[in-house]
Amino acid sequence: MAKRKTKYICQECGYESPKWMGKCPGCHHWNTMVEELIELPNKTKRGFVTSGAGASSKPMSIQSIKGDREPRIDAKINELNRVLGGGIVPGSLVLVGGDPGIGKSTLLLETSYHLAKDNAKVLYVSGEESMKQTKLRAERLHIAAETLYIQAETDLELIEQAIEELQPVFIVVDSIQTMHHPAVTSAPGSVSQVRECTGQLMRIAKTKGIAIFIVGHVTKEGSIAGPRLLEHMVDAVLYFEGERHHSYRLLRAVKNRFGSTNELGVFEMKETGLEEVANPSEIFLEERAKGASGSTVVASLEGTRTLMVEIQALITPTSFGNPRRTANGIDHNRVSLLMAVLEKRVGLLLQNQDAYLNVAGGVRLDEPAIDLAIAISIASSFRDRPTKPSDVMIGEIGLTGEVRRVSRIEQRVHEAAKLGFTRVILPKKNIGGWAIPNGIQVIGIDTVGQALEHALEG
């Protein structure tokens, strides 16, 4: 008979303690320690379960190991293939997170449909909806395929039985927080249940070569609910982002063992489901106001894709002792640094000004090549002088006010030319060694001051 004891586990970070505490020492959240029953075997030697495909292997020289590329399954959704690194890898476990109602289930149901259309067996397991509810959603999305199977179940052992019978090539589990394993006595959604269920799904994926996508809830802070161990166990973590009041959705990878984490997928939510956005740059710039101060366009890289994005700034005199600095889609500390450079190196008196910055379209930019566009937006709004609507700004700014070179400048300029821009202001060190497209003027600058002289009208 197994021995039983209890311990307290933080539901936010997975910290374990033999006694209850009001504040978790791991994540410093209050009232997150929950008592869970633990069963220990009588044997003194405990077994460890690996997530690999069976028995342990002998050490091998790295040169004797074949470096064959992982085979891929075409998801028939180009934006999803891009984020995954070229397609779905058989035997992989992928975690998809996002806010409630953002479109996670819709995306995975559409992916299941595209695979089932090619006569591949697909199992969609829903722990939150009945079969009839899933069927109604499928009819709304015009989804119907003979090899797409739906199962409304939360017991992981029954799900394993269904997998043994069907032998699918693709499985969706929606969501991992609703699943429970009978061997674990804690409630569904607890740290122990999430950890055990994810471990079981990982073993199924690796031993049977089945690609499994699991949906994870997110907390109010935007991170995936449950312990961070959940993200470490899976092969890839995808976040589905977007404002609920806007129709555009962004899919990005924060972890990917089979590809890059810099790729971005763009979708538009419509009544008939999610549609891919083949050229998101046009979408992000279509509502740009002409002749407005504080608006600039930057060519930013997201993996292999170049995005033309509008950066907006609003500089107003402050009514408080400490001016406000608000940034949406840009690093707040980077904005403060650039404002300090403008004040010290260019002479803009910004210490008594409130600053509000925004990246149009809900995109988040975090590369240094957007520095010049941010600085020119701030100066444009402060001086109330608009920039030319046909200009693109590219460059990294140093603390001495110099504009430094950026990577893959040719790709950025070609994207600007394709969308009809006629002038690009970029670092002088980036000029040379590549062909400038026809119909576009390239201006090289060394300092922020020189950039402002060329960029601001009047």
The binding site for ATP comprises: 98-105
Angle between helices 131-140 and 104-116 (to 10 degrees): 80
**Binding site per annotation, positions:** 98-105
Q: Where are the alpha helices (DSSP H) in 75-147?
A: 78-84, 104-116, 131-140
Residue 135 in 3-state DSSP? helix
Best CA proximity match to 356, nearest among 314, 293, 309, 311: 314
How many angstroms separate the CA atoms of 348 and 204, rounded? 61
Return the exposure string of 419-457: e unless at least 16 CB atoms fall within 10 Å of the residue's CB, then b. Answer: eebebbbbbbebeeeeeeeeebebebbebbebbbeebbe
Strands 325-328, 305-317: pairing kind: unpaired
The total number of residues shown for the chain amounts to 458
Distance, in Å, from the CA atom of 302 to the CA atom of 367, rounded to the nearest integer, reads 9
With contact defined as beta carbons under 8 Å apart, do 217 and 174 qualify? no
Of 402, 366, 379, which Cα lies nearest the Cα of 452?
379
